[in-house]
């Protein structure tokens, strides 16, 4: 009895903690996802290296999705800018990075500049393309802006895809290239590798002192020998730090007079203008900052995360993924964005990749028909396995898209404010309630509005 | 003097428009130079024009529905391209079935050659070889797509009829995902040959080669367009649609059966989209689950150019976009030919920026 | 109708002589703060404002009245840049502002409220007011995010917060400070709008029926405040109001609009006795 009460008490306390503290909420969610995927790994009989690897994946995808969703939230959640050209801006970021840093002798040739220059250059290029888009397009209605941005993103993708710029020569004789349909794969490898390997581009080159120590530690404790797993995990943690930094940056943007104007623009642009705010300037700056962050996300995800960029990675589907994530989290909230990104990355993106193997292993399904008729035909004979085999082995990615679509429709019909509810964060650089001069009524006394004494309608 | 002042005014008010107009004039001038100077043969030019007309008619046909739903329901339907794809797949499944049932198992035919199904060359579908199956496929494409659009409206859009345009737009993206990947689920995700090009006769008209499938497309598209025209002229439907596009609440008060008009809009728009999708395969010779999505931006371009809500605008816009994308190949040679589509998107962006009411805006009919 | 009955009431007989505006209105041949010339606005086929011309004297509380649909709100919209006038000129402190963007006009010190209150519904009352002050340092993106500048922003925010709370207390909506503005009642919203407009530190305010739904005691207090702002800080007010008692008692001069143009302009007692004005109101009723 009393221990029951005690437990409910603890539970309520915990729930209150989650409601009060965004950090606790995010950490709890991440802990849940890590547990979930450890479970997945256990079902699949992974060894310790496999388990660490799966945790590294969870960290990576959560982080990159959180990053890009935060950037979109700045556009859509903060300023109401309906940008559905995200994939294009990501492409500009990572392609610029790759073209700036790839070796001049490679194929396609690059400029061979340092990685840092590449990252900053990628962000600047994405911001510039954002500026070119924003200058004319921000005057447009939201749905026109959507069509323009998706068209621009396709123009960007088709341009990178075109053989015309596969390699070209800049004035001055400097050769450069996008690699056309096959993309660029020879830009410098993930800078995190420099922590562990003497030559970051080759694991065989020998380990640095740090590398030796860390690998040695993991080997001693877990018996892990695959260093790549540890490198990936490290990169995931680096990304988590980046997400934290970007979150802090955006929280500052939101909790400031600048963010207040954005909020006003989203609600009623005419009012913001009538109060003397040059709303176009605010929108352009916001659009450029968001695009720069999208460029950064492209660099960290498709660039260093994948190790090669190619145009097909930037189809509009990617944009819609990110939209779904932001809608799940609830547009307008940075914490919601991180959570939305995490939910999408783990439950809708990563988990379905493990599902078929898990189900097959559990139910030992062998059938693998290669077309729908062959899959449903045997049902007449009472055999369901071919259909399951068809679904699991042939069509699970397609069904995932179908599910995502259904989810989107469901959300629009039932919870347009987001799965995690509508969260509002006060837009001010200081705690506004504190300013109440002593002696007056207290600012926290929230009389219900209809009881307010001023209304005599 | 007067003209000069007006020109100055225009330059100040709409600098972008002036730049576009100047660029267009330069291109036309260059075109004449090329034609007269022999850089471009008349036959090649004619070929581009013909190709542009064929694809333009299809874009226009599909655009009618997008334009109507955009103005009457107030949102940009991003699933419209996938109605087109379903038109293609449903129609061709039946065309295949009818053309090959005497020789092959029904399953492989219905799935348009999925898995180990029969190859297009073996089935031998073409307008001259199997005209009956082609026409039956068209009817099914239209009917099936009407069914899809009505079902989607009932399940998705009707419950949120009063929601704002962006909410509906996002919902339509969801619908697009569902429809597109259901095609992958039932059929396949690659691009596959469908028609038997070797059996399609072609005719040389002054150096321009025109094949029977293209002629079929032009004939059917024109017939459908005339049909829509008559429907809107002879019935009160056009008027009711215009009233609803202007103000749905007012239309309801004045006794227009709002839901009925919406249903008719979907029937018209869905049917034409299905037909367009089916016919696109006839000219491309291949079918793919994302064929409609790939066309969608071009269709948006046409609809916006023609002025949202205008049936005739959509048709003319389709022709402009079709011709622009093909004629751009006169200049975009070699590796640059991959920029034909971006050129059309670019045109659309220009229209949105400088004439968001469409270049034919103001003469909107139905 | 309410307008008509209050028209003929005698309640507003005196108090006009004490109007601060009367003394200052004629000082020098300076430009009046606001001069509207031949203003026209068409919406499609409807002509909402049809060649209206009037001036508003410095530091006055000028009334703008007229039957429903006379074009008062549209005139406000054209003056403040919310709509671009079809034709005509609007001079604010001597320069033509017709067709300028609303924010540019507001930056110059001409600020308005809306007839149907446009509170920012999903922002708190506090946020609504914090938004209003013009040229805040923190409106520059880099100042809001970069550490060395951020301190200045925080300092400024702290000062603004004081001013905002003072304003809330004056308008007697401080108990609603942290409520979402969308949850306020109609009258409370109008108060919020007025408070917000004042926070912009304007030279001239256009108020579109600011007292609708506000209780009479507070109304008097607000009118006193308006007169105080005119006298002490030199603000000018143009007030659209349907309550004739307020107009007759507090406004001088009064401009009457009808069917898009100015029907009459003069002191309240002249307006009250003007037959065309009375006809316009009665004509509206028939
Ligand atoms: N945005 C608009 N589009 C079309 N017509 C409009 C618009 N705004 C106002 N009108 C019309 O212009 C005319 C004048 O309206 P306005 O709102 O200026 O009158 P008003 O004097 O403020 O009336 P009220 O006392 O009712 O507030 C009316 O006929 C109105 O219907
Ligand atoms: Mg009004």
Predicted complex ipTM? 0.89
A125 assigned to some structural domain? yes
- The pLDDT score that the predictor gives to residue B148 is 97
In a domain, C22, yes or no: no
**Is the distance from the beta carbon of residue C213 to the nearest atom of ligand 1 less than 6 Å?**
no
Q: Is residue A436 part of a domain?
A: no
- Residue-wise pLDDT for B47-101, tens only, equals 999 999 999 999 999 999 999 999 899 899 999 999 999 999 999 999 989 988 8
Instruction: Identify whether A26 is part of a domain.
Output: no
Q: Which is more confidently placed, A56 or B108?
A: A56
- Same domain, yes or no, for C213 and C285? yes
Q: Answer yes or no: do C238 and C206 share one domain.
A: yes
Residue A225, pLDDT score? 64
DSSP structural state of residue B157: I
Residue A266 lies in a domain: yes
Residue C274 C-alpha to ligand 1 middle, in angstroms?
A: 24
Q: Give the pLDDT of residue B1.
A: 60
Distance CA B85, CA B294 (A): 10
- Residues C150 and C106 both lie in one domain: no
Residue with more model confidence, B241 or A262: A262
What is the tens place of the pLDDT at every residue in A186-210?
898 888 888 888 888 877 888 888 8
Whether residue C4 is contained in a domain is answered as no
Q: What dihedral angle (degrees, nearest 10) is formed by the CA atoms of A342, A343, A346, A347? A: 180
Q: Write out the residue range of the structural domain in which residue C246 sits.
A: 31-119+201-286
Q: Which two tokens stand for residue B174?
A: 């969801």
Is there a single domain that holds both residue C133 and residue C245? no
CB B148 within 8 A of CB B220: no
- Count CB atoms within 10 A of the CB of residue A164: 17
From the list A169, A95, A157, the residue with the least C-alpha distance to A126 is A95
Inspect the interface and report whether the beta carbons of C176 and A253 lie closer than 8 Å: no
Q: Residue C21: inside a domain, yes or no?
A: no
Stated pTM of the model: 0.87
Query: How much distance in Å is there from the Cα of C240 to the middle of ligand 2?
Result: 8
What rounded mean pLDDT belongs to chain A? Answer: 86
Of A268, A275, A447, the CB nearest to C175: A447
Mark the residues whose beta carbon lies below 5 A from ion ligand 2. Answer: C 72-73, 115
Per residue in B314-360, pLDDT (tens digit) is 999 999 999 998 999 888 888 888 888 888 888 888 888 877 777 76
Test site for ligand 1: of C42, C44, C48, most ligand atoms within 8 A of the Cβ: C48
β partners of residue C256: C65, C264
End-to-end CA distance of chain A: 53
Q: Are residues C146 and C260 in the same domain?
A: no
Domains of chain B by residue range? 43-354
> Would you state the structure tokens that stand for residue C213, as one six-digit string?
């739904």
Has residue A419 been placed in a domain?
A: no
In a domain, C14, yes or no: no
Helix axes B212-234, B42-73, angle to 10 degrees: 40
Please name the member of A140, A147, A163 whose beta carbon is closest to the beta carbon of B76: A147
Whether A399 and chain B come into contact, CB under 8 Å, resolves to: yes
Domain contains C151? yes
Most confident of A77-86, B138-147, B285-294, C6-15: B138-147
A444: tokens are 């926290």
Close Cβ partners of B114 (under 8 Å, ≥ 6 residues apart): A370, A371, A372, A373, B108, B187, B188
Using 50, 70 and 90 to split pLDDT, how confident is the model at A358?
confident
A-interface mutation test, from B96, B118, B185, B340, most A Cβ less than 10 A away: B185
Mean pLDDT of B291-315: 90
Which residue lies with its CA nearest to atom 24 of ligand 1? C68
Range A4-32 average pLDDT = 78
Distance CA A234, CA A220 (A): 18
In a domain, C222, yes or no: yes
Are C97 and C213 contained in the same domain? yes
Alpha carbon of residue A252 to chain centroid: 20
Judge whether A396 and B189 are in contact, CB under 8 Å. Answer: no
Give the gap in angstroms from C-alpha B76 to the nearest C-alpha of chain A: 7
Question: Would an 8 Å CB–CB cutoff place C166 in contact with chain A?
Answer: yes
Picking from A126, A82, A86, the residue whose alpha carbon sits closest to that of residue A313 is: A86
Place of tokens 């949105």: B352
Report the alpha-carbon distance of residue A424 to residue A416 in Å, rounded.
15
Please tell me whether residues C210 and C286 are part of one structural domain.
Answer: yes
Q: Give chain A positions within 8 Å (CB) of B349.
A: 137, 148, 151-152
Are C207 and C279 found together in one domain?
yes
Let me know whether C213 and C95 are in one domain: yes
Which domain range does residue A79 map to? 47-312
Task: State whether A412 and B304 contact (CB < 8 Å).
Answer: no
Average pLDDT over all residues of chain B: 87
Q: Is C66 in the pocket of ligand 1 (CB under 6 A)?
A: yes
C176 and C235 assigned to the same domain: no
Q: Is the CB of C77 under 6 A from ligand 1?
A: no
Kindly report which listed range (A116-130, A187-201, A365-379, A433-447) carries the lowest average pLDDT score: A433-447
- Radius of gyration of chain B measured on its C-alpha atoms: 22
Count the domains in chain A: 1
Percent of chain A with pLDDT over 90: 46
C39 Cα to the center of ligand 1, angstroms: 15
> pLDDT digits over B98-129, tens only?
988 888 888 888 888 887 778 777 787 888 88
Q: Count how many domains chain C has.
A: 2
Confidence check: pLDDT of A89 > 90: yes
Sign of the CA dihedral B5, B9, B11, B17?
A: negative
One pLDDT digit (tens) per residue for chain C, 286 residues: 333 333 333 333 333 334 444 444 444 456 789 999 999 999 988 899 999 999 999 999 999 999 999 999 999 999 999 999 999 999 999 999 999 999 999 999 999 999 999 999 989 999 999 999 999 999 999 999 998 899 999 999 999 999 999 999 988 899 999 999 999 988 899 999 999 999 999 999 999 999 988 888 889 988 998 999 999 999 999 999 988 889 999 998 999 999 999 999 999 989 888 888 888 776 654 4
Mean pLDDT of A394-398: 85
- pLDDT score, position A422: 60
**Which chain A residues contact residue B341 at CB under 8 A?**
154, 158
Q: Please, which residues have CB within 8 angstroms of residue B38's CB and are 6 or more apart in sequence? A: none
Q: Ligand 1 pocket, C79 CB below 6 A? A: no
- What pLDDT is stored for residue A440 in this prediction? 45
| A438 is a domain residue | no
Q: C112 and C205: one domain?
A: yes
* Inter-CA distances, B190 with A375, B115, B287, Å: 19, 11, 9
Q: Examine residue C273 and say whether the peptide bond preceding it is cis (omega within 30 degrees of 0).
A: no
Cβ distance C215 to A270 less than 8 Å, yes or no, reads no
Look at chain B and count its residues: 366
**Testing the interface with C: which of A246, A432, A450 to mutate, by most C Cβ within 10 A?**
A432
């Amino acid at each position: 009895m009393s221990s029951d009460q005690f437990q409910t008490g603890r539970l309520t306390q915990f729930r209150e903690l989650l409601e009060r503290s965004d950090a606790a909420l995010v950490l709890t969610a991440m802990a849940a996802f890590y547990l979930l995927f450890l479970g997945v790994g256990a079902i699949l009989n992974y060894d310790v290296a496999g388990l660490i690897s799966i945790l590294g994946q969870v960290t990576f995808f959560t982080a990159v999705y959180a990053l890009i969703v935060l950037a979109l939230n700045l556009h859509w959640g903060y300023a109401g800018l309906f940008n559905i050209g995200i994939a294009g801006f990501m492409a500009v970021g990572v392609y610029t990075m790759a073209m700036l840093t790839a070796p001049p002798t490679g194929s396609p040739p690059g400029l061979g500049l340092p990685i840092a220059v590449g990252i900053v250059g990628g962000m600047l290029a994405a911001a510039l393309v954002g500026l070119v888009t924003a200058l004319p397009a921000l005057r447009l209605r939201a749905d026109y802006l959507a069509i323009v941005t998706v068209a621009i993103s396709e123009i960007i993708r088709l341009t990178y895809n075109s053989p015309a710029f596969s390699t070209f020569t800049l004035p001055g004789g400097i050769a450069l290239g996008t690699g056309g349909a096959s993309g660029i794969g020879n830009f410098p490898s993930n800078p995190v590798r420099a922590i562990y390997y003497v030559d970051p581009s080759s694991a065989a080159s020998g380990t640095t002192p740090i590398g030796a120590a860390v690998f040695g530690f993991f080997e001693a404790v877990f018996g892990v020998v695959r260093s790549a797993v540890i490198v990936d995990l490290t990169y995931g943690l680096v990304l988590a730090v980046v997400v934290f930094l970007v979150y802090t940056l955006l929280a500052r943007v939101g909790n400031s007079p600048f963010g207040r104007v954005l909020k006003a623009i989203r609600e009623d642009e005419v009012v913001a203008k009538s109060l003397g705010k040059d709303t176009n300037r605010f929108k352009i700056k916001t659009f450029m900052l968001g695009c720069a962050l999208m460029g950064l996300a492209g660099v960290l995800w498709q660039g260093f995360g994948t190790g090669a960029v190619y145009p097909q990675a930037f189809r509009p589907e990617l944009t819609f993924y990110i939209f779904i994530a932001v809608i799940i989290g609830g547009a307008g909230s940075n914490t919601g964005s991180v959570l939305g990104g995490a939910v999408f990355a783990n439950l809708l993106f990563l988990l379905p990749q493990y599902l078929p193997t898990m189900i097959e292993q559990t139910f030992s399904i062998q059938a693998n028909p290669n077309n729908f008729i062959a899959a449903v035909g045997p049902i007449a004979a009472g055999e369901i396995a071919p259909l399951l085999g068809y679904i699991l082995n042939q069509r699970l990615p397609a069904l995932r898209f179908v599910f995502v679509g259904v989810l989107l429709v469901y959300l629009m019909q039932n919870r347009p404010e987001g799965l995690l509810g509508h969260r509002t964060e006060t837009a001010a650089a200081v705690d506004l309630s504190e300013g109440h001069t002593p002696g007056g009524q207290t600012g926290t006394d929230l009389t219900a509005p209809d009881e307010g004494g001023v209304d005599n309608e | 003097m007067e003209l000069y002042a007006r020109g100055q005014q225009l330059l100040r008010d709409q600098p972008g428009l002036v730049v576009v107009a100047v660029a267009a004039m330069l291109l036309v001038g260059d075109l004449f130079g090329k034609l007269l100077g022999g850089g471009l043969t008349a036959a090649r030019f004619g070929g581009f024009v013909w190709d542009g007309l064929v694809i333009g008619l299809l874009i226009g046909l599909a655009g009618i529905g997008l334009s109507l739903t955009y103005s009457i329901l107030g949102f940009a339907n991003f699933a419209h391209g996938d109605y087109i794809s379903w038109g293609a797949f449903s129609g061709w499944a039946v065309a295949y079935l009818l053309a090959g049932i005497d020789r092959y198992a029904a399953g492989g035919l219905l799935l348009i050659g999925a898995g180990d199904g029969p190859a297009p060359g073996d089935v031998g579908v073409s307008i001259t070889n199997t005209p009956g199956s082609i026409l039956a496929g068209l009817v099914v494409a239209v009917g099936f797509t009407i069914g899809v659009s009505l079902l989607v409206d009932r399940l998705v859009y009707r419950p949120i009829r009063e929601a704002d345009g962006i909410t509906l737009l996002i919902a339509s993206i969801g619908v697009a995902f569902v429809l597109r990947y259901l095609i992958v689920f039932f059929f396949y995700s690659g691009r596959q040959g469908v028609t038997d090009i070797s059996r399609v006769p072609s005719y040389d008209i002054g150096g321009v080669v025109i094949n029977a499938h293209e002629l079929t497309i032009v004939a059917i598209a024109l017939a459908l367009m005339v049909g829509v025209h008559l429907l809107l002229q002879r019935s009160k439907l056009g008027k009711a649609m215009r009233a609803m596009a202007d103000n749905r609440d007012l239309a309801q008060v004045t006794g227009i059966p709002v839901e009925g008009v919406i249903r008719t809009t979907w029937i018209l728009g869905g049917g034409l989209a299905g037909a367009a999708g089916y016919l696109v395969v006839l000219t491309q010779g291949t079918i793919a689950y994302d064929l409609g999505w790939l066309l969608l931006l071009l269709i948006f371009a046409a609809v916006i150019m023609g002025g949202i809500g205008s049936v005739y605008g959509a048709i003319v816009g389709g022709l402009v976009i079709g011709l622009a994308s093909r004629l751009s190949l006169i200049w975009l040679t070699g590796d640059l030919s991959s920029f034909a589509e971006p050129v059309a998107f670019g045109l659309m962006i220009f229209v949105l920026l400088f004439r968001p009411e469409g270049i034919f805006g103001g003469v909107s009919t139905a | 109708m309410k307008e008509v009955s209050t028209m003929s009431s005698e309640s507003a007989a005196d108090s006009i002589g004490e109007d601060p505006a009367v003394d200052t209105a004629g000082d020098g041949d300076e430009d009046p703060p606001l001069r509207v010339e031949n203003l026209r606005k068409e919406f499609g086929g409807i002509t909402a404002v049809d060649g209206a011309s009037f001036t508003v004297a410095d530091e006055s509380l000028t009334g703008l009245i007229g039957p429903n649909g006379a074009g008062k709100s549209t005139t406000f919209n054209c003056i403040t840049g919310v709509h671009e006038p079809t034709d005509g000129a609007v001079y604010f402190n001597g320069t033509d502002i017709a067709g300028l963007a609303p924010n540019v006009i507001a930056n110059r010190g001409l600020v308005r409220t809306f007839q149907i209150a446009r509170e920012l519904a999903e922002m708190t009352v506090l946020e609504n007011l914090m938004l209003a002050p013009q040229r805040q340092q923190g409106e520059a993106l880099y100042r809001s995010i970069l550490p060395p500048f951020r301190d200045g922003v925080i300092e400024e925010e702290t000062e603004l917060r004081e001013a905002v709370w003072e304003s809330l207390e004056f308008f007697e909506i401080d108990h609603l400070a942290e409520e979402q503005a969308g949850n306020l009642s109609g009258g409370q919203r109008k108060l919020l709008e007025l408070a917000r407009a004042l926070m912009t530190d304007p030279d001239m305010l256009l108020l579109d029926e600011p007292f609708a739904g506000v209780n009479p005691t507070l109304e008097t207090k607000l009118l006193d405040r308006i007169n105080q702002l005119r006298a002490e800080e030199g603000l000018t007010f143009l007030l659209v109001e349907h309550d004739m008692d307020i107009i007759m008692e507090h406004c001088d001069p009064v401009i009457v609009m009808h069917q898009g143009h100015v029907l009459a302009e003069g002191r309240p007692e002249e307006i009250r006795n003007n037959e065309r004005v009375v006809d316009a109101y009665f004509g509206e009723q028939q």
